[in-house]
């Protein structure tokens, strides 16, 4: 249920409504716009509540939301959410580019890549230290030493970092190093992890599970938002289909769908979305043309020697080419590429 307050309603009226919500055993989430306040109500809602709340002083309208997700819906928060990472803003006019290796391997690999992607215009460095791996026999990341390398390279190169956290018990550790916590596709419905990243106070990027519908994805987002963390962005990274020429099928249509139904920024990951380096540039351009707020791309100094995801990683040269092709597409969409700070 969403309670729309009258334009110019007083703090006392808003507090009165919140108190009534809480005394009914429900939770209130405030969205304070320039003109009016919207209150999202979550919990066991029954239709009679609508009439009761509509009678309270300062209330303009009460809307029973038909969609199961609420805090992530545009009905609750009509304006776009802006996520702030260091000096970078995501979800506004600027298109953010997050780039780096799939996995942190060595200091040299990470440092070289960070310098190259920054020089080409990336504004956030990506790199996995805790890697989800389908097979337990494959490289599963350096763990905490990988986080240390990320933090060291951030200092040397001056790019904020994003890295994955896989377990609720590791949230505190990973959050102590990173600027953005990434929840991977395999963990989209790890509900205890979602609650912990929600409590962390850090910006979060929630990847779409490869078998998840948009609704399931937004319900997963709801777990994070319900903890009071509104610094959340979504990432479309491809879904599993019958097609075998690509690793996943990047669901470009999910981008305008999210933009329509949710206020959360939407990022596209054409690397995992295709699994093939030569499809990364065309799909990155398509994602931005479809309205994505940014892209996440895997880049490696020597993709043929990468410990993980080499086949979908761009060389430095190809990454530069991507950036030069992305600029006019962003501009055609009335946007611009975020510039490195």
**Which residues bind to ligand PEP, rule: CB under 6 A?**
102, 128, 132, 184-186, 207, 237, 272
- What angle is formed at CA 204 by the lines to CA 34 and CA 251, rounded to 5 degrees? 95
Judged by CB under 5 A, the residue of 2, 3, 102, 104 near Mn ion is: 102
C-beta closer to Mn ion: residue 1 or 125? 125
The interface with Mn ion within residues 301-320 (CB under 5 A) comprises 309
C-beta closer to Mn ion: residue 94 or 309? 309
**φ, ψ of residue 186 in degrees (nearest 5):** -70, -20
Q: Which residue is nearest to Mn ion (CB)?
A: 102
Q: Collect all residues with Cβ–Cβ distance below 8 Å to 176 and sequence separation of at least 6.
A: none
Answer yes or no whether residue 164 interacts with Mn ion by CB under 5 A: no
Size of interface with Mn ion, in residues (CB under 5 A) = 2
Query: CB under 5 to 8 A by kind: which of Mn ion, ligand PEP, none does 209 bind?
Result: none
Tell me how far, at minimum, the Cβ of 133 lies from Mn ion, in Å.
10
Query: CB under 5 to 8 A by kind: which of Mn ion, ligand PEP, none does 237 bind?
Result: ligand PEP
- Classify the phi-psi angles of 161: left when phi > 0, otherwise alpha if psi is within -120 to 50, otherwise beta: beta
C-beta closer to ligand PEP: residue 70 or 207? 207
Query: CB under 5 to 8 A by kind: which of ligand PEP, Mn ion, none does 207 bind?
Result: ligand PEP
C-beta closer to Mn ion: residue 20 or 247? 247
Tell me how far, at minimum, the Cβ of 21 lies from ligand PEP, in Å.
36
C-beta closer to ligand PEP: residue 74 or 186? 186
On whether the CB atoms of residues 295 and 97 are closer than 8 A, the answer is yes
Residue 80 has what DSSP assignment?
Answer: P
C-beta closer to ligand PEP: residue 73 or 190? 190
The alpha carbon of residue 214 and the mean position of all alpha carbons in its chain are separated, in whole angstroms, by 14
- Tell me which residue has tokens 């799909």: 283
Q: Collect all residues with Cβ–Cβ distance below 8 Å to 58 and sequence separation of at least 6.
A: 5, 6, 9, 10, 13, 14, 16, 17
Q: Collect all residues with Cβ–Cβ distance below 8 Å to 186 and sequence separation of at least 6.
A: 132, 209
C-beta closer to Mn ion: residue 66 or 134? 134
Query: CB under 5 to 8 A by kind: which of ligand PEP, Mn ion, none does 185 bind?
Result: ligand PEP
Take residue 208 and report the two structure tokens written for it.
Answer: 């779409």
Largest Cα span, the chain: 67
Tell me how far, at minimum, the Cβ of 269 lies from Mn ion, in Å.
9
Sign of the four-CA dihedral 282, 296, 290, 254: positive
Query: CB under 5 to 8 A by kind: which of ligand PEP, Mn ion, none does 141 bind?
Result: none
The interface with Mn ion within residues 172-211 (CB under 5 A) comprises none
């Amino acid at each position: 249920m969403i309670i729309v307050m009258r334009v110019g309603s007083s703090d006392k009226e808003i507090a009165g409504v919140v108190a009534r919500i809480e005394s009914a055993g429900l939770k209130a989430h405030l969205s304070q716009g320039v003109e009016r306040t919207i209150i999202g109500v979550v919990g066991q809602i029954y239709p009679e509540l609508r009439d009761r709340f509509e009678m309270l002083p300062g209330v303009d309208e009460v809307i029973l939301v038909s969609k199961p997700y609420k805090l992530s819906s545009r009905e609750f928060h009509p304006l776009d959410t802006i996520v702030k990472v260091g000096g970078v803003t995501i979800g506004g006019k600027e298109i953010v580019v997050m780039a780096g290796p799939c996995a942190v391997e060595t200091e040299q690999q990470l440092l070289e890549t960070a310098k190259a992607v920054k020089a080409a215009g990336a504004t956030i460095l990506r790199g996995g230290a805790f890697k989800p791996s389908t097979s337990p026999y494959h490289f599963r990341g350096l763990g905490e030493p990988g986080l240390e390398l990320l933090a060291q390279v951030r200092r040397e190169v001056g790019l904020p970092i994003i890295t994955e956290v896989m377990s609720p018990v590791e949230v505190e550790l990973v959050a102590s190093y990173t600027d953005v916590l990434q929840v991977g596709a395999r963990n989209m419905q790890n509900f205890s992890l979602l609650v912990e990243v929600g409590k962390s106070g850090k910006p979060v990027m929630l990847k779409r599970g490869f078998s998840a519908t948009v609704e399931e994805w937004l319900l997963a987002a709801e777990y994070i938002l319900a903890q009071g963390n509104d610094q959340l962005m979504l990432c479309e990274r491809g879904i599993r289909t019958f097609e075998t020429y690509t690793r996943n099928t990047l669901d470009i249509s999910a981008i305008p769908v999210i933009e329509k139904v949710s206020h959360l920024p939407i990022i596209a990951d054409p690397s995992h979305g295709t699994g093939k380096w030569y499809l990364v540039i065309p799909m990155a351009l398509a994602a931005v043309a479809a309205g994505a707020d940014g892209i996440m791309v895997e880049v490696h100094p020597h993709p043929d020697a990468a410990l993980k995801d080499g086949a979908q990683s761009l060389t430095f040269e190809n990454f530069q080419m991507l950036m030069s092709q992305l600029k006019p597409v962003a501009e055609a969409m009335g946007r611009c590429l975020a510039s490195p700070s």
